[in-house]
Structure 1
Amino acid sequence: MRPEELPLSAAQREMWFAQQLDPGNPVFTMADCLELTGPLDHERLRAAWQRVQNRTEALRVRFVERDGQPVQLVEPPHERPLPVLDLTGEPDPLAAAEAFLDADRQLPSTLGPDAFAATLLLIGPELAWLHVKANHILVDGFSRSLVYARLAAEYDLPDAEPAADPTLAELLAEEDDYLASPAHQRDRAYWAEQLADGIEPTVLSGHLGAPARSTLRSTGLIPPDTVTRLQDAAWAERVTWQTLLIGATAGCLAQLAGTDRVVLTLPVAARTTPLAQSVPGMRANFLPLPVAAHPALGRDGLLTQVAATLRGTLRHQRHRHDAIRRDLGLTGDAGRSFGPTVNVLQTGGEFALGDCRARVRNLSTGPVPDLQILFLDSGEEGCELRIDGDADRYPQERLDLFRDALLGYLAEFATVPTELPVGRIAALPPAEREHVLAGGNGYGQQPEVFTDVLPRIRELALARPGATAVQDDAGRLDYAELVARASALSRRLVAAGAGPDRLVAVAAAPGTGFVTAVLGVLGAGAAWLPLDV
């Protein structure tokens, strides 16, 4: 059978173009470790995993270009054995397993046949880890839960008739129908009205930097008694647990940033139909959530506002964030994120494979443009707070400080009177808060003034001279080569009379020559005008 060729979804195209700008960046890989405790039939697991891949088209996709446009090829079901790594003979099997996960996390992401992969690590009697990784262009967080549900079903009922699952083609057709529907026009009109006055992305670091190539993580625990008080507060305010956590996070961020208006990024599944909720694939969307957190506002007023904004966002969640950013005129690094991402998950993820318990431990959620705040229900232990940050923007001590500030804020938020102004809830002790707002730890700083593209390219050439800067069918240029060629062209253009207030026409097909020409013209101080070749 020949592979089925399909276009990319809107979410996939966003991921595709992001990866063309930084090929191989490991942050595009999502990864989980399924910790398997109890009696496990290894052969039965391997057979179940093969059937999951046969059922799930998104796990059999590779990407190619056709006439300069990306397409996805869905390979027919084929044998893909689950590799097994036996670490039981190691002096410290757990340490060896963690070392494997750490090393694998650093491997370049790929858009080829290995964009999805898994390895079974044998650690000890009745203890194994299933390491699962996928390029974010294949699946989103919602999809992973579908895949693990399929794994449990295939393991428990190996002789059941194969399910007739909906296909990726049906998922794409549904998206096309939505884009041509009145519902899409209503969603677009909603966002245009909501953001008519524009928004200023909330960035808690004064350093913009290049797209993240690694992330750091800080974790903490909201103790069970505080969780109970927060849930009681949510009930008293007539809002959901998720709404309360998002509202409290907004209040804390407003203090740390020294502002009374913050913008959060809200991840949504963008799956509002039974079909979309049954097909693994990349559909996730990331929408702006503006919150007015004026210090005089009471807890009740803050949460009522957040609840109303959340309802509107969820009703109109299918309109893509890239379209919203374009309409707002957001460009550059600040435009890649509306603000810190906040997500509340009811469970860390557990399921059964027969008598074996599988606990999902997330290793990577994919790209973190700036800052990601995740709340994970940990059952009787409380609620885990996880903060991931771009390593170039947030050193570990800053993430730890923010973790401590948010944990302290939540503890107070749970107990204050409903009408108490949120400005009187202390995110940090007074001395530390003054230091933070003064910029000593980076919070409260405005993003650095936009830097021209040329200095940014030159900074990258100094930092990563051998990294791929631009690539086409004819070859590639690293940053050092690109800067050298562009500088040579700038000198020739200046000698020919180019300079400020002069226009230089550029006639070139997209590729290394085009990018070199644009940078060369800018380096000469002139403006460039693209001609349609």
Structure 2
Amino acid sequence: MVPLSFAQQRLWFLGQLEGSSSIYNLPAVLRLEGDLDRGALGAALRDVLERHEVLRTVFTSVEGRPYQDILEASAVGEVLTVAPAAPAGSTADSPAVAEAIAEAARYAFDLSQQVPFRAWLFPCGEREHVLVLLVHHIAGDGWSLGPLARDVSTAYAARCAGGAPAWEPLPVQYADYTLWQRELLGDAGDADSVLSGQLAYWRSVLEGSPQELVLPFDRTRPAVATHRGGNVDLVVPAELHARIAELARAEGVTVFMVFQAALAVLLSRLGAGEDVPIGTPVAGRTDQALDDLVGFFVNTLVLRTDVSGSPSFGEVLRRVRERALDAFSHQDVPFERLVEELAPVRSMARHPLFQVMLALQNNTDPDLDLPGLRASVLPGPLPPAKFDLSLTLQETFEGARPHGVRGQLAYATDLFDHGTVEAIAERFVRVLEAVTARPADPVDRVQVLSAGERERVLVEWNDTARPLAGATLPELLSAQAERTPDAVALVSGDTRLTYAELDTRANRLAHLLTEQGVGPESRVAVFMERSTDMVLALLAAVKAGAAYVPVDPQYPAERIAQMLRDSAPQCVLTHTPTSHLLPETENVPRLVLDEPATQALLTDRPGHAPQPGLLPEHPAYL
């Protein structure tokens, strides 16, 4: 029995944990125009199944351990499903056809019973079809779609000519790679093994790495990710692409390293901190014999980027280069084995070790060359979101000259709105503009906001001016008491006062203050702890026309004395628990609100508001 590769093992485990799903499907969608021989196409797909063992493998388990069970091609059955003809007038771009393509791409393989390869043919007219080739990730990767399309083309041409494909046998099969991988890496318990040495490197490099990046989410992360995704296009113009390439040459780094450093700077400026782990895929085809093989070879590296200490972008590039070169020289450890070894806190809500992926794509689109047909790649349905954010970039060239970069920023809709990710994509390009123009500037000065965003933040959001009514605070309170006299206005412990009660009690205390000479332009000090009486005291001072001066009893005695001298209050309102902390003040009366004598005076005062001739321009608080 052949074991699974480490990459396959993790997908098998996720399948056991989450059940069959389409999360790890790899669809290729192609428009075929011309005279199609359906019989030849079906035979060609069976030929490809015969050629690549991994496409006719099911994944069984014995006592909980998974194994590859390679079937004979004759035991697989038909892998091509031909759909009924679409309604007259339908094209490959019709909504009904698009929905059928999406449904095919969502097909959930039962890997224990079904081979991880299927195809659908959708007729859209006599001379137009859509072909969907679907490979589960456990049997293929992005690179694999190239040799798959090439072999389908060869086999179709042979079948149309009435023969079988006469291709050279593959030097190895995926099962051979699986056994070789385990032999190469050795055992983690062997101190001299490749696996042991590289695991030690990754343990050291990733020690203390953040388990989860803080990003500008629009929503709280759910307990279990739905993997629903969205996509935003991104374009780096040719002139900027040329500057990126020139900066890479000057600093002795790759273009990918410039993108990685710029992405880390952007994420840091958006709140991710100064330690930014980013995942990136590597082809994993370390031997030429694997280049034409369909299979799951791609590996994932975690590149930890340090932007601490206000470095220049040039310094960030030097840090990125040093770590990236070390990482690439230790790329043999499968990411799945690394997760198992480092044992981060497991979560069904996020990807382990990193949540942002960066890929500089150099895979070619699947290119079918079928006799009598013109084949073109159609955009497939949006893939599931495996990460919070995933940035995929592809350089274009005019001859040898940089001609721009196309990109897509995929995102988890659990966390982000489309507009938020559009802004992030725009800011990434803006960061590239800034750091290529002035690489010696500190990265914490890089401007990630557009002029419009800066205007919104600094001006619009700070424009707090509002039209004000000409009424004073006592008038507003009295009007509210008339509108809702029985509504609760104040709660303190077990005490609850309605607006009518609060207004009446504040009015009585205000009358008592006016008898002490309090009025507009005078000041009343309030020296008490938070309580119902403190709120009454503040309101009464204003109703009497004065400005209130809050003095915290917790202040040092010198500070209290200084405040009272400086404000020169007409009166001090206090409580029995705090009155003894008041310094002696000459000619400044004090009213202890909870003393019986004061309560008796208040009972005899009117419940309506005094009329001190108060204007909105008079001070209310000092």
1:403 is matched with: 425
Q: CA deviation at 1:350?
A: 5.2
* Paired residues for 1:320-469 under 5 Å: 320-333=334-347, 334=350, 336-347=352-363, 349=365, 351-354=367-370, 356-359=374-377, 361=379, 363=381, 368-377=386-395, 382-414=404-436, 416-429=437-450, 432=453
Cα separation, 2, equivalents of 1:410 and 1:38: 44
From 164, 171, 178, give the equivalent of 2:169.
164
> Which residue pairs with 1:83 in the alignment?
81
SS of alignment partner, residue 336 of structure 1: coil
Please report how far the alpha carbon of residue 289 of structure 1 lies from its aligned counterpart in structure 2 after TM superposition.
Answer: 0.7
User: 1-side partners of 2:268 and 2:119: how far apart?
Assistant: 41
Q: Which letter maps to 2:435? A: F
**Pair 1:360–1:383, CA change in 2 (3 A):** farther
Separation of aligned partners in 1, 2:316 and 2:58: 46
Q: Aligned pair in 2 of structure 1 residues 239, 276: CA closer, same or farther (>3 Å)?
A: same
SS in 2 for 1:405: helix
Q: Secondary structure at the match of 1:353?
A: coil
Distance 1:352 1:20, change over 3 A: closer
| Among candidates 155, 177, 195, match of residue 183 of structure 2 | 177
Distance 1:319 1:135, change over 3 A: same
- How big is each residue's C-alpha offset from its partner over 1:76-108, in whole Å with a ceiling of 9 and x where there is no partner? 113535333443724454123212122334444
User: Please, which runs of 5 or more residues in structure 2 have no aligned partner?
Assistant: 187-191, 462-622
Q: What SS does the aligned partner of 1:62 have?
A: strand
Contact map agreement 1:348 1:377 (CA 8 A) in 2: no
Give the counterpart letter for 1:188 in structure 2.
Answer: L
**1:346 positional shift:** 2.6
Question: Where does residue 187 of structure 1 map in the other structure?
Answer: 198
Shift of 1:10: 1.2
CA distance in 1, matches of 2:138, 2:48: 19
Residues 340 and 371, structure 1, Cα contact 8 Å, conserved in 2 = yes
- Residue 297 to residue 27, structure 1, CA distance change in 2 (3 Å): same
Shift, 1:328, TM fit: 3.5
CA distance in 2, matches of 1:413, 1:31: 37
Q: How many residues align?
A: 432
C-alpha distance 361-91 of structure 1, shift in aligned 2 (>3 A): closer
Q: Deviations over 1:279-315 (max 9, x none)?
A: 3222332221100123732222222222222222121
C-alpha contact 1:31 1:362 (8 A) present in aligned 2: yes
Work out the percentage of aligned pairs sharing the same amino acid.
21
Report the 3-state secondary structure (helix = DSSP H, G, I; strand = E; otherwise coil) of the residue aligned with 1:252.
helix
TM superposition score normalised by structure 1 = 0.72
SS in 1 for 2:59: strand
User: What is the distance in 1 between the residues matched to 2:248 and 2:385?
Assistant: 31
Q: Partner amino acid for 2:182? A: D
Superposed, 1:109-508 pairs within 5 Å as 109-111=109-111, 112-113=113-114, 115-123=116-124, 127-155=128-156, 160-165=165-170, 166-180=172-186, 182-204=193-215, 205=217, 206-294=220-308, 296-333=310-347, 334=350, 336-347=352-363, 349=365, 351-354=367-370, 356-359=374-377, 361=379, 363=381, 368-377=386-395, 382-414=404-436, 416-429=437-450, 432=453
Asked if the contact 1:119/1:132 (under 8 Å) is kept, the reply is: yes
User: Amino acid of the residue matched to residue 202 of structure 1?
Assistant: L
Distance 1:32 1:354, change over 3 A: closer
Aligned to 1:478: none
SS at match of 1:27: coil
Which amino acid is 1:389 matched to? Y
Q: Is the 8 A contact 2:221 2:415 kept in 1?
A: yes
1:247-266 residue CA offsets vs partner (Å, 9 max, x unmatched): 21122111112522211012
Look up the equivalent residue of 1:101 and give its one-letter code: I
Among candidates 26, 30, 38, match of residue 34 of structure 1: 30
Describe the SS at the equivalent of 2:138: coil
1:129 and 1:139, CA in 2 relative to 1: closer, same or farther beyond 3 A?
A: same
Which AA in structure 2 matches 1:340? V
Question: 1:317 offset after TM fit, Å?
Answer: 1.0
Offset at 1:42? 5.1
Query: Larger Cα Rg: Structure 1 or Structure 2?
Result: 2
Does the CA-based 8 Å contact 2:55-2:139 persist in structure 1?
Answer: yes
Distance 1:148 1:309, change over 3 A: farther
Deviations 1:375-414 (A, max 9, x none): 1346678432212222222232332222222233233334
User: TM-score normalized by structure 2?
Assistant: 0.62
Preserved CA contact (<8 Å) 1:263 1:338: yes
Amino acid at match of 2:147: L
Residue ranges of structure 1 left out of the alignment (5+ in a row): 441-533
Task: Give yes or no for contact 1:24–1:110 (8 Å, CA) kept in 2.
Answer: yes
Kept after mapping to 2: 8 A contact 1:266/1:288: yes
Change in Cα spacing, 1:81 to 1:379, as seen in structure 2 (3 Å) is farther
Following TM superposition, by how much is the alpha carbon of 1:109 offset from its aligned partner in structure 2, in angstroms?
4.4
